[in-house]
């Protein structure tokens, strides 16, 4: 995933960075590069989880996952304590219409790696960037719709730092925040929802 981001958003510069970071996986690098270049079996990703995968790989935190969400879990565990982490500014980002560009995040992570910043610092800065993006996007939606209630749902919200900080920041901005309590925010909740839909359909067909 990291290679895909590098090639897609940084072009030739990204290819050079990929070779420097993942050169020992030459064969895999060739295959991914070919798939991205030819757009073959490589649909665009829209989930936040894939961005976690990319950043975790860039930092060398997780190249091969042995369980679901491993990259995101391990990256989340590297975040500095709140008293330190809250002081770290986010990476640059751009929201273009309904699309959030990750280019500033990727280039920022690479720049911090070159500066010798610790993985913990970069992981924290990445998380703070996601928080800044969330606040920016939600405020834009409020301007358009007038909505003030925000539901935090999806696997990303299993991340304790993101959840706690998002609730704090959104509340400070005047939003009412809804969070999961009995049903998990990840695929477990999705599975439950699918079961409910299947049950209702079965009952209605009887």
> Over the stretch 84-115, which tens digit does the pLDDT of each residue have?
988 999 999 998 888 888 889 999 999 999 99
- Confirm if 7 and 36 have CB atoms less than 8 A apart: yes
The Cα 80–Cα 62 span in angstroms is 18
The residue written with tokens 């500066």 in the block is 115
- Confirm if 80 and 120 have CB atoms less than 8 A apart: yes
Q: What is 45-145's CATH superfamily?
A: ATPase, nucleotide binding domain (3.30.420.40)
Residues of the chain with pLDDT under 50: none
Residue 9 confidence (pLDDT)? 76
Residue 34 confidence (pLDDT)? 66
Per DSSP, the residues of 63-93 read SS-SSTTHHHHHHHTTPPPHHHHTTSPPPP-
The Cα 185–Cα 63 span in angstroms is 25
CA angle at 205 for the pair 202 and 206, rounded to the nearest 5°: 90
DSSP element (H, E) containing 33? helix 26-38
The Cα 77–Cα 120 span in angstroms is 9
């Amino acid at each position: 995933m990291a290679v895909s981001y590098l090639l897609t958003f940084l072009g030739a510069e990204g290819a050079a960075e990929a070779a420097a970071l993942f050169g020992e996986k030459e064969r895999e690098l060739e295959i991914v590069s070919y798939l991205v270049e030819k757009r073959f079996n490589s649909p665009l990703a829209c989930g936040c989880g894939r961005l976690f995968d990319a950043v975790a790989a860039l930092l060398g935190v997780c190249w091969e996952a042995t369980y679901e969400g491993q990259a995101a879990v391990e990256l989340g565990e590297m975040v500095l304590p709140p008293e330190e982490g809250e002081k770290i500014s986010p990476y640059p980002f751009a929201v273009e219409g309904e699309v959030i560009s990750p280019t500033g995040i990727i280039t920022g992570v690479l720049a911090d790696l070159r500066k010798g910043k610790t993985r913990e610092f970069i992981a924290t800065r990445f998380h703070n960037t996601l928080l800044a993006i969330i606040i920016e996007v939600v405020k834009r939606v409020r301007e358009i719709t007038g909505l003030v209630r925000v539901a935090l749902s999806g696997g990303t919200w299993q991340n304790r730092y993101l959840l706690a900080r998002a609730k704090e920041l959104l509340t400070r901005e005047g939003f009412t925040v809804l969070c999961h309590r009995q049903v998990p925010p990840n695929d477990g909740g999705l599975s439950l929802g699918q079961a409910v839909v299947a049950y209702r359909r079965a009952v209605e067909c009887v």
